[in-house]
Amino acid sequence: MYPLSNNKAADVIYYITMIELFAAAIFATSQAPLPNPKLDWWREARFGMFIHWGLYAIPAGTWEDKGTGHAEWIRTTAQIPLGTYDKFVDEFNPVLFDADAWCEMASDAGMGYIVITSKHHDGFCLFDSEQTNFDIMSTPFKRDIMRELAEAAPKHDIQMSWYHSIMDWHHQDYLPRRGWEKERSAEGADMQRYRTYLHKQVTELLTNYGPVGIMWFDGEWEASWRGEYGKELYELCIGLQPEVIVNNRLGARGGMEGLTGMDGYAGGYGGDYMTPEQEIPDAVDKGLDWETCMTMNDRWGYNLHDKNFKSTTDLLQKLCDIASKNGNFLLNIGPKPDGTFPDESIQRLSEIGDWMDINGEAIHGTIGSPFGKLDWGRATQKIHEGSTTLYFHVFDWPTNGALVIPGLSGTVTSAKILGGKDAPFSMGSGKVIVTIPIAEPNDHIGVVAVEVKGKPIIYEAPTITAPVTEFVDDVEVTLEVGSQGLEIKYWVVLQRDEQALDNFMVSFTYKEPIVVRESATVYARCFDGEIPVSPMISKVFTKVTPWRASYAFSSDRGGIQKNTYNGSWDLLPDFSELDVVSTVNDAVIKNADKEFIAEVFTGLLTVKRTAMYEFALSSDDGSRLYIDGNIVIDNDGLHGAQIKQGYAPLAKGNHEFRLEWFNKTGGATLDLRIGKLGESLTRITNALVVE
C-alpha cells in the first residue's frame, strides 16, 4: 500500500482503479542537442562569468546632475561629450587588477569560462590594439588586460572569451551618431571603413591571445548594421580559430529577451547559440543551445549605489533552472576602477562555490530535465552507458521526509543526497518516493541523485489551458496529453458539490475542449487504457460577478480628460503628490513624444454587453490601467515598448477608467486595446466605448 498523497483526487483515483503500473512504457526522450564538438566544453561548463569593465567603472554610475543610475551606458545615458569621456583614459589605473585572482574566483565558483569586454559600446579597448589609441595602452596602467587574463586562464581551467561590441560610440566612422551628439558631425563617416576596423580588431583578438573560447558580439541592432555583415564576422572568426564559439548577436534579433536570432530570421545570421538577456525562457525547444546572461544586481558595469544584489539562493536557483532547460548561465560581475570585484559579488561567488563543491555534478556535464514542471524544483540528467543519473534540485525541501517524484517509472537502482547518505526509496503508481532527512542538506538547494537502469520512463501530466481562470458566462478549457500514446481522462467537479467524492466515479475521455459554465475544478490525468500513469493535474475555474456599472448607459458620459506632469521617474509616481502642469478635455490616448513626462487619462468606459473584457496595454516606459479602482494591468517600470494583458469582468454600462503613463527618456509608446474576451481587440484613442 502506498501512502496517501496530499492530493485527495489522486488518491481517490488510486483506490478506484487499484491497478498497478506495468510495462506501458513511454521512454523519456533524450534532450541531448545535436552533436557539435566545438561546443562540448561550453555545454559541459554550464556556468560562466561575464565581466563588464572599462572606463565607465570610474564614474561608477553617477554623473553631474544626471543622477546615480548609470553604468556601462553612461556616455549615452548621461549624454557625456566625447572629449569629456575621453579624459577617463588618463584616470584608468586599476593597480589592484590580478588576472589570476579573477580566474581563481570564477573557477572556485564552479564556472568554466569568462567572457570579458574587450570593447563595450563606448569603444574603449581593454587590450593593446594597433587600430586605436583609445585603448589600455594610453592609460597610466599600460598593461594589456586581455593578455594577462589569457595567460592566467589555463592555469585555472577557464576558457577565456571576449565580448566585443559592434556598436561603437567613439569611432568616427560608426553610424548613427547619438541623437544628442550635436558637436560631432557624421559627415564623412563611412560604415565600410568601420567594418574594416572591426575586422582588424577581431583579428587581433583571435591572433594575439592563443585559443579563445567564445567571441561574444553585441550591439548589432542599429539600422547601420546588416545580417550579411554578421555572416562575414562569423566567417572571419572561424577562419582564424575554427574552434571558437560565436554567439548569435551578429544580425537582426527580435529583441533582448527570448530565444530569437538563430538561422532563418529576416536578414540575420545565426551564430552558435542564443543569448536571452536578463531573463530565463519558460520553455525551450529540445536541442537548442542557449545561454542566459544576467546581472548580479541591476547593472552590468560597476555602479557604486546599486546594492540590489540577488541572493545566493536565488542565483543558484537560476543556475539550476537554466541547467534543467539545457542552457548555460553567464553571471555578470562589474569590477571596480581599482581592479577588484565588489564585495557583494565576491561573497556570492564564494557561497556559490561552496554549494558547487558538493552539488556541481548536478550541473556540470548534465543535460536538460526529462520531466515537465516539478512542483518542488528542477531536474537535470546524465546519460551513461546502460544507466541514467537523474538529479533533483529541491527548491522546496519537503518537511515530511518524503520527496515524491511524480510520473517516474522504470528501474530505479539507488538514490542519495549529494553531500549526504544513500536514501531509501519506493516505487508506486507512476511515482517514486525517496525518503529524505527532514533537515535540508545546505542553506540553498538540496540535491537528490537517483540512478536508473537504462533510461527512465516518465509519464507527464496533461496540460490544462484556458484563456482565463475567472469567467462571466463560460470558459473553454483545452487539455493536452503529456506523453505520446496515452489518453486523457478528466473530471469536472463543481464547486458547490466538491465534498461529494462520487464526482470521481465518473470520468470522461477527453475528445474536444470542455465548456465550463459554473465554478469548478477540472482534474485530468493521462491513462494507458484503464491504468492511470501520469500525475494528476487540476485547475480551478471561478465564475465571477461582473463589476457593477456605476450607472446605466448615458449619453452625457463626457470625453477623456488628460492631466500632464513633468519629472524624471523610473517608476510611475504618486500622482496625488504632484502638481498638474496642464489639463486637456477630450484628450486622445497616445504617446506624447516627449521625455520626462507623465500623463493620467480618466473618463468613463462604456461597455455595451456584460462580459469578460480583455485589455492589452503597450507602453514605453511604464503604465498602469485601473477600471473601477482595480488595477487591471500593471506595466510599470523603465522599459522599451512592452505589452501586457489584463482582464476585467464588466457589467453593461459605465465604468471608471484611469490610465497612467510615463516616459523618462528615449522612445515613447502608449497603446491601449480593448475587446470582449475571444473577440478581436480594438485600439482606444478618443472614445471610451466598446460595442
Interacting residue ranges for ligand H79, rule: CB under 6 A? 52, 72-73, 77, 218, 256, 277, 293, 300, 666
CB nearer ligand H79, residue 620 or residue 628: 620
How many CB atoms sit inside 10 A of residue 49's CB?
26
CA 172 distance to own-chain centroid: 35
- Phi and psi based region of residue 397 (left: phi greater than 0; alpha: psi -120 to 50; beta: remaining): beta
271 conformational bin, left if phi > 0, alpha if psi -120 to 50, beta if neither? left
Q: Supply the minimum distance, in Å, between the C-beta of residue 299 and ligand H79.
A: 8
Rank residues 144 and 277 by Cβ distance to ligand H79 and give the closer one: 277
Give the shortest CB-209-to-ligand H79 separation in angstroms: 21
| Minimal distance, residue 25 CB to ligand H79, in Å | 44
Q: In the bound complex, what is the minimum distance in angstroms from residue 52's beta carbon to ligand H79?
A: 6
| Minimum CB distance to ligand H79 smaller for 70 or for 348 | 70
Of 295 and 534, which CB lies nearer to ligand H79 in the complex structure?
Answer: 295
CB nearer to ligand H79: give 254 or 666: 666
- Minimal distance, residue 208 CB to ligand H79, in Å: 23
Report the sign of the C-alpha dihedral through residues 590, 594, 598, 602, in that order. negative
What is the smallest separation between the CB atom of 256 and ligand H79, expressed in angstroms? Answer: 5
Report which of 640, 649, 585, 596 is spatially closest to residue 618, judged by C-alpha positions: 640
Q: How far is the CB of 113 from ligand H79 (least distance, A)?
A: 15
Q: Which residue is nearest to ligand H79 (CB)?
A: 73
As measured in angstroms, the least distance from the Cβ of 42 to ligand H79 is: 17
For residue 359, give the C-alpha cell. 552539488
Q: In one letter, which amino acid is 50?
A: F
Do 81 and 127 form a contact (C-beta atoms < 8 A)? no
* CA distances for 295 relative to 52, 101, 160, 321, 330, angstroms: 10, 20, 19, 16, 9
Dist. CA 427–CA 433, nearest whole Å: 6
Residue with smaller CB distance to ligand H79, 54 or 603: 54
With cell 546599486, the residue in question is 306
To the nearest 10 degrees (0 to 180), the angle between helices 343-359 and 312-324 is: 50
Contact of 325 with 72, CB cutoff 8 Å: no
Grid coordinates in use for 339?
A: 581592479
- Given the complex with ligand H79, which of 164 and 624 has the nearer CB atom? 164
**Residue 74 beta carbon to ligand H79: minimum distance, rounded to whole angstroms:** 9
Residues whose CB falls within 8 Å of the CB of residue 538, separated by 6 or more in sequence, listed in order: 9, 464, 521, 522, 523, 524
Contact 534, 460 (CB under 8 A): yes
Please report how close the Cβ of residue 484 comes to ligand H79 at its closest, in angstroms: 39
Task: Determine the 3-state secondary structure of 229 from DSSP.
Answer: helix
- DSSP for 179-211 reads TT-TTS--TT--HHHHHHHHHHHHHHHTTSSS-
Angle at which helix 343-359 crosses helix 99-108, to 10 degrees, equals 40
Closest approach of ligand H79 to the CB of residue 241, in Å: 22
CA distance 435 to 398: 10
From residue 408, give the alpha-carbon distance in Å to each of 134, 236, 487, 524. Answer: 58, 47, 18, 18
- For the chain, the distance separating the N- and C-terminal CA atoms, rounded to the nearest angstrom, is 59
φ, ψ for residue 412, nearest 5 deg: -85, 130
- Which CB atom, from 177 or from 193, has the smaller least distance to ligand H79? 177
Phi, psi of 488 (to 5 degrees): -105, 135
72 vs 528 by CB, closer to ligand H79? 72
Do 48 and 59 form a contact (C-beta atoms < 8 A)? no
Give the nearest distance from C-beta 553 to ligand H79 in angstroms: 43
Q: Which is nearer to ligand H79, 77 or 534 (CB)?
A: 77
Residue with grid cell 570564477, as numbered in its chain: 106
CB nearer ligand H79, residue 35 or residue 179 = 179
Q: Rounded to 5 degrees, what angle do the CA atoms 36, 162, 97 make?
A: 135
- Shortest Å distance, C-beta 278 to ligand H79: 8
Q: Which is nearer to ligand H79, 305 or 416 (CB)?
A: 305
- Alpha carbon distance 562, 589 (integer Å): 9
- Distance of alpha carbon 413 from alpha carbon 431, whole angstroms: 14
Q: How far apart are CA 480 and CA 488, in angstroms?
A: 8
Q: Which DSSP state fits 154?
A: G
Among candidates 607, 611, 583, 623, which has minimal Cα distance to 655? 607
CB of 666 to ligand H79, least distance (A): 6
- In angstroms, the CA 660 to CA 665 distance is 17
CB of 338: closest distance to ligand H79 in angstroms?
Answer: 21
Asked if 176 contacts 76 with a C-beta cutoff of 8 angstroms, the reply is no
**Cβ proximity to ligand H79, 50 vs 425, nearer residue:** 50
Q: Which is nearer to ligand H79, 415 or 572 (CB)?
A: 572
- 221 versus 376: smaller Cβ distance to ligand H79: 221
Measured from the CB atom, the residue of 121 and 195 that comes closer to ligand H79 is: 121
Shortest Å, Cβ 523 to ligand H79: 44
CA distance 313 to 317: 6
